[in-house]
Structure 1
Amino acid sequence: MMHDALERQRFEQAVASLCLLDDPFMTVVFQDNLACVDLVIQIVLNNPNLHATRVITQDTIQNLHGHSVRLDIHALADGQEFNIEIQRAAGGAARRRARYNGSIMDAAALQTGEDYDRLPETYVIFITETDVLQGGQPIYHIQRRIDGTNEPFDDGSHIIYVNSSIHDGATPLGRLMHDFRCTRAEDMYYEVLAERVGHFKGNVGGDERMSNQLWDAYVRDYIVPKIEQRNAERCEQALMEGKNTERLSSIKNLMQNLKFSAEKAMEALSIPKSEWARYKAML
């Protein structure tokens, strides 16, 4: 009995902590929901006339000769193709990953013998927890340009990074990012997201959380372990950052007080040579 109560508490805490930046939760919220996709692409592209006709979450596109990809959200809207990726870790939003996702969508878009002009406009959109491009901007539009003239190359491929750390209520994008980081449906700006999130966690307008065996099993077997893994990784990262800070302080003290070179200081502190370049870059 006590075990069941603890398991239920663990379940409830996991559900309460979820937001749309958690890709397992985003998966169930956006699955088969065109209205949620419409909201995101309309705001990100500043085009209220875009309307999705198809959405698949966690869509695997096979590459028979190499690395296949699984897209968080894969959508079609008005003849254009979208991949929306949710990334908490900066490494998951690598620039070459954005390039590769776009290339895989292109490779799957044409049938044998079809002309390249039939390739759709593609948008790879990374919504990130932090400002991974470190430019202080809420949104970054990346497109190819021609050296010398600075004219757009206009090949139909687009990469967009959305920085969710800017989440004020002053702009539609800021409000959307607020909602992506929000754990309570009743605190969200956009009704279409609040209603969908409210079905799975908490209550909106008195509706009790949608509860069924499939959802409970999904939370217990997939979401809870994911959250616990994420929390463990954050603890490990915090410990590593503390260790790095302490070592950097010691290196600087030896360099300033004893006039050691960086290499001599790291040798005196018994820092492995394999880590020297990393610490020198942080000095």
Structure 2
Amino acid sequence: MARIDADFLQIIKDFSLFDDVYMNCFFKDFPEGIQFILRKILDRSDLVVKSVHIQDVMVSMTSKTSRLDVFAEDGEGNQYDVEFQFLPNENIPKRGRYYLGNIDQNMIRRGEDYDTLHEAYVIFICAGDPIKKHKPMYHYTMKDEDGNELNDGQHLLILNADYEGDWRLKDLMNDIKAS
């Protein structure tokens, strides 16, 4: 029997969905996993994931390339980018804006009407609270100065997996962090 080095064994024990290698193994052949997570986060039991792409690269000839952790599309054409951030930084909101723009750009083809754009979600599951307002989840949409929703279909969700208080996703966040 092969003997495993203690340091290597500890690395394996510490794996969670915040590790790209483990996340890739977990979702690659198990799209139901991301479907379950999306259903819980969005509180939609009817959401059915049609396709999943792990570490999907959105290449642009003129701008920064994006590497999406888990990219999913549901049966209605809505698109979801789920990012697992172990070390979230202050740039999460602008990164979310950039990813939403990339999703939109790849969702509509030349000559298509803007009405063909489906809902787009970028979801950051963070080990920590990058917004620093001590909330479990932040859901951003476009609104005017009076608080009226624009209903443009873009959603940026930032989840604080380390939130200590009770909330509906606490068990899910603990499972995601579990090694």
The normalised TM-score by structure 1 is 0.59
1:92 shift after superposition: 7.4
CA distance in 2, matches of 1:136, 1:77: 31
How many percent identity over aligned positions?
27
Unaligned runs of 5+ in 1: 184-283
Structure with higher helix content: 1
CA distance in 1, matches of 2:171, 2:45: 16
CA contact (8 A) 1:167 1:177 kept: no
Give the alignment partner of residue 26 of structure 1, picking from 14, 23, 27: 23
CA deviations on 1:128-175 (whole Å, 9 max, x unpaired) are: 000111122111101111123x2101111000001100267x554111
Write out aligned runs for 1:1-283 (5 A): 5=3, 8-78=5-75, 79-91=77-89, 94-148=92-146, 150-166=147-163, 171-183=167-179
CA deviations on 1:75-117 (whole Å, 9 max, x unpaired) are: 0013210000010112275211100011011111112111111
1:8 shift after superposition: 3.6
CA deviations on 1:205-239 (whole Å, 9 max, x unpaired) are: xxxxxxxxxxxxxxxxxxxxxxxxxxxxxxxxxxx
Runs of 4+ in 1 over 3 A off after TM superposition: 7-10
The normalised TM-score by structure 2 is 0.91
SS at match of 2:67: strand
What amino acid does structure 2 have at the position aligned with 1:142?
A: Y
CA contact (8 A) 1:93 1:128 kept: no
Relative to structure 1, the CA distance from residue 124 to residue 112 in structure 2 (aligned partners, 3 Å threshold; closer, same or farther) is: same
SS at match of 1:57: strand
- The structure with the larger Rg is 1
Structure with higher strand content: 2
What amino acid does structure 1 have at the position aligned with 2:88?
A: A
Unaligned runs of 5+ in 2: none
CA contact (8 A) 2:39 2:45 kept: yes
Relative to structure 1, the CA distance from residue 97 to residue 132 in structure 2 (aligned partners, 3 Å threshold; closer, same or farther) is: same
Relative to structure 1, the CA distance from residue 32 to residue 26 in structure 2 (aligned partners, 3 Å threshold; closer, same or farther) is: same
